[in-house]
Amino acid sequence: MDTRERIVEAAAALLAREGADQLSIRDVCAAAGVGAPTVYHHFGDKQGLLDAVVAHGFERYIATKRAEVATADPLADLRSGWDAHTGFATANPAFYALMYGTVRPGRQPPAAAEAMAMLEAVLRRVEQTVGLRLPVPEAARLVLAANVGVALALVTEPAMPGAEALSARAREAAIEAIVPPRRDDRDRPLSAAEEAVLEEWLRRRR
């Protein structure tokens, strides 16, 4: 491990334990066994160090994505990818809060772009099997925005009641927004509740 990598690893460990607000150059130097001039030489300032830690966090996340094995069911893979994203956030809250909660306009680590490319690849398979309501890039941005929003909510409030159910409901809502209904869903008879809503709508239209 070279000096730069050792500093990033030390900062990442401190971040996971203490959070970004408590991270100090002095503590990073002590943990990495280097002097402050060495940190400034490699990163310029604390923000530069935090940027490097964010890139490190994305690399850790993308490593889990690269390990995923595609199945014959792209919708199942899409759901699995959502759950893996949320799981990474809740398992690494300090990293995730820095990665997505303190973004800098126009700055995106290469690993973030790779993660988006992986999501688009899954969505292209979904498009080929069941279709999409939106072009793949738009569908990917919608799914990612929803996934990040839920993940940040869970990181912000880890003891939130029904957290797992919230993530699942948001996941299914996002999928419903981008995937057209199945033919058997379109042809099924209306439920009693749906009939009541339809009757009320027709009554108001008269």
| Tens of pLDDT, residue by residue, the chain (206 residues) | 689 999 998 998 888 787 777 788 999 999 999 999 999 999 999 888 988 888 887 888 888 888 888 899 999 999 999 999 999 889 888 888 877 776 667 666 666 788 889 999 999 999 999 999 999 999 999 999 999 999 999 988 877 777 778 899 999 999 999 999 876 555 556 566 556 655 655 665 55
Which residue, 136, 152, 203, 143, is CA-closest to 177?
143
CATH topology of domain 52-205: Tetracycline Repressor; domain 2 (1.10.357)
Return the half-sphere exposure (C-beta side, CA atoms, 13 A cut-off) of residue 31: 20
pTM for this prediction: 0.74
For position 130, what pLDDT does the model report?
93
Residue 14 to residue 46: CA distance in whole angstroms = 14
For position 99, what pLDDT does the model report?
78
Q: Does domain 1-44 have CATH number 3.90.245.10?
A: no
Residue 181 to residue 130: CA distance in whole angstroms = 9
Encode burial over 145-165: b for 16+ CB neighbours within 10 A, e otherwise.
ebbbebbbbbbeeeeeeebee
Residue 57 to residue 31: CA distance in whole angstroms = 18
Maximum pairwise Cα distance, the chain: 79
Indicate the domain borders of the chain.
Answer: 1-44, 52-205
Domains 1-44 and 52-205 share a fold: no
Residue type, 94: A
